[in-house]
Structure 1
Amino acid sequence: MNLEGNGLHVVKLLGEGTFGRVFLAETANDRHRVCVKQIVMRDPSTELKMIREEVYIISQLKHPRIIKFLQSFVQGEVVNIIMEYAPGGTMRTIIDNHIKKPLTHNELQAYFCDMLSGLEYLHIRHVIHRDLKPENLLLDKNNRIKIADFGIALIHSSHAKKMDALGTPYYLAPEILRGYQCDFKADVWSLGCILYEMCSGLGPFSFADTMRELRAMVLHSNSTFYHCKKLEVYYGKMWSTLCERMLTYDRMQRISLPDIVKFHPSITLYFYNLYFDYSY
Structure 2
Amino acid sequence: MAQESTVQYEPVAEIGGGAYGTVYKARDRDSGQFVALKSVRVQTNQDGLPLSTVREVALLKRLEQFDHPNIVRLMDVCATLRTDQETKVTLVFEHVDQDLRTYLEKVPAPGLSIDRIRDLMQQLLCGLAFLHSNRVLHRDLKPENILVTSRGQVKLADFGLARIYSCHMALTPVVVTLWYRSPEVLLQTTYATPVDIWSTGCIFAEMFRRKPLFCGDSEVDQLGKIFAVIGLPAEDEWPTDVTLSRQNFSPQTPQPITDCVPEISEKGVELLLVRLRSLSLHIQLQCYQSKKQ
The percent of aligned pairs where both chains have the same amino acid is 24
- Tell me which of 215, 218, 238 is aligned to 2:267: 238
Identify, as 1 or 2, the structure richer in helix.
Answer: 1
Question: Any runs of at least 4 consecutive aligned residues in structure 1 with deviations exceeding 6 A, and if so which?
Answer: none
Say whether residues 1:119 and 2:119 are aligned partners: no
Say whether residues 1:56 and 2:58 are aligned partners: yes
Q: SS where residue 247 of structure 1 aligns?
A: helix
Superposition TM-score, scaled by structure 1 size:
0.75
Inter-CA distance 168–227: structure 2 relative to 1 (3 Å threshold): farther
Q: CA deviation at 1:72?
A: 0.6
Say whether residues 1:248 and 2:265 are aligned partners: no
- Is the contact made by 1:228 and 1:241 (CA closer than 8 Å) also made in structure 2? no
Greater C-alpha Rg: 2
CA distance in 2, matches of 1:191, 1:242: 11
Look up the match of 1:75. 80
Q: CA RMSD in A?
A: 3.0
Q: CA deviation at 1:133?
A: 0.4
CA distance in 2, matches of 1:93, 1:101: 16
- Is the contact made by 2:198 and 2:279 (CA closer than 8 Å) also made in structure 1? no
Inter-CA distance 224–38: structure 2 relative to 1 (3 Å threshold): farther
Inter-CA distance 123–189: structure 2 relative to 1 (3 Å threshold): same
Segments of 5+ residues of structure 2 without an aligned counterpart are: 82-86, 165-175, 232-251, 286-293
Q: CA deviation at 1:224?
A: 9.4
Q: CA deviation at 1:36?
A: 1.1
Say whether residues 1:152 and 2:162 are aligned partners: yes
Say whether residues 1:170 and 2:179 are aligned partners: yes
The correspondence of residues 88-99 of structure 1 with structure 2, limited to 5 A, is 89-97=98-106
The correspondence of residues 24-39 of structure 1 with structure 2, limited to 5 A, is 24-39=25-40
Inter-CA distance 129–230: structure 2 relative to 1 (3 Å threshold): same
- What letter is aligned with 2:269? S
What do residues 57-94 of structure 1 show as CA deviations (whole Å, max 9, x unaligned)? Answer: 2212131101111111112232111111112x001113
What do residues 217-240 of structure 1 show as CA deviations (whole Å, max 9, x unaligned)? Answer: 335652795362236641311112
Inter-CA distance 249–225: structure 2 relative to 1 (3 Å threshold): farther
Inter-CA distance 19–47: structure 2 relative to 1 (3 Å threshold): farther
The correspondence of residues 1-280 of structure 1 with structure 2, limited to 5 A, is 6-41=7-42, 43-45=43-45, 48-61=50-63, 62=66, 63-76=68-81, 77-87=87-97, 89-97=98-106, 100=109, 102-150=111-159, 151-152=161-162, 168-206=177-215, 208-219=216-227, 221-222=230-231, 225-226=254-255, 228-230=257-259, 233-248=262-277, 251-252=280-281
**How many equivalent residue pairs?**
239
Superposition TM-score, scaled by structure 2 size:
0.71
Q: CA deviation at 1:209?
A: 4.4
Inter-CA distance 13–78: structure 2 relative to 1 (3 Å threshold): same
Q: CA deviation at 1:185?
A: 1.0
